[in-house]
């Protein structure tokens, strides 16, 4: 009976919600970016559905060119620990060239931003080059689509992410953040055993 109680407590703890938390883990004098006051209206995030977010971004040094690499490690909580989400179709624990990632080629407006950002904060930049300055994203609502295929398993859960920006011309880490967040999704059948609903 005692073992059963311990097991039930451990399982209930393993499904604890991780509220949005963003922590700066970089102390380099050459740090290029500082992010704070990240806020989500729905916490945990529901997939699919609307989500409203806001954030403050301070660009400390110019960001341009093709020498800033973003390395992202995403982990999902499964029972008693976190497992790394692999990089599949350029999503998950992947490496990206920052300016290519934010190129915004599909957005035809001054700052290369999604229309939702243009509507809420017209002067918020979304693509390189980024000039030093303070940028505030007003509360902006996005529609998160339903995940399909292999990604459906990832629609609900507790996540941690470690993101590093490296200046490949000097091999120095010039940006570092740890993020935690939880997501939830409608589910049915066998998938609900591991989900939140």
3-class SS shares of the chain: helix, strand, coil, % to 5: 20, 45, 40
**φ/ψ (deg, to 5) at 187:** -145, 170
DSSP secondary structure of 111-146: T---HHHHHH-TT---SSPBPSEEEEEEEEEEEEPP
Residue 189: strand pairing partners: none
* Rg of the chain on CA atoms, in Å: 19
This prediction's pTM: 0.80
Identify whether the C-beta of residue 76 lies closer than 8 Å to the C-beta of residue 181.
no
Identify whether the C-beta of residue 140 lies closer than 8 Å to the C-beta of residue 52.
yes
Domain annotation for the chain: domains and CATH numbers: 16-193 (2.70.220.10)
pLDDT digits (tens, 9 = 90+) for 32-60: 999 999 999 988 998 899 999 999 999 99
Contacts 24+ apart (CB under 8 A), 33-36: 33/57, 33/58, 33/59, 33/60, 33/63, 33/165, 33/174, 33/175, 34/58, 34/60, 35/177
pLDDT value of residue 9: 32
Query: Quick one: average pLDDT of 92-120?
Result: 81
């Amino acid at each position: 009976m005692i073992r059963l109680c311990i097991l039930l407590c451990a399982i209930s703890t393993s499904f604890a919600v991780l509220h949005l938390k963003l922590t700066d883990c970089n102390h380099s004098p050459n740090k290029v970016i500082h992010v704070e006051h990240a806020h989500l209206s729905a916490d945990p995030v529901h997939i699919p559905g609307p989500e409203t977010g806001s954030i403050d971004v301070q660009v400390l040094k110019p960001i341009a060119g093709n020498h800033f690499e973003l390395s992202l490690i995403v982990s999902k909580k499964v029972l008693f620990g976190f497992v790394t989400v692999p990089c599949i179709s350029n999503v998950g624990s992947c490496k990206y060239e920052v300016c290519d990632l934010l190129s915004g080629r599909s957005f035809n407006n001054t700052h290369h931003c999604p229309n939702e950002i243009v509507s809420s904060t017209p002067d918020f930049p979304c693509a390189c080059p980024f000039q030093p300055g303070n940028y505030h994203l007003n509360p902006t609502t996005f529609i998160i689509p339903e995940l399909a295929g292999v990604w459906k398993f990832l629609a609900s859960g507790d996540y941690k992410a470690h993101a590093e920006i490296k200046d490949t011309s000097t091999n120095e880490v010039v940006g570092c953040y740890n993020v935690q967040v939880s997501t939830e999704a409608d589910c049915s059948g066998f998938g609900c055993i591991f989900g939140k609903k």
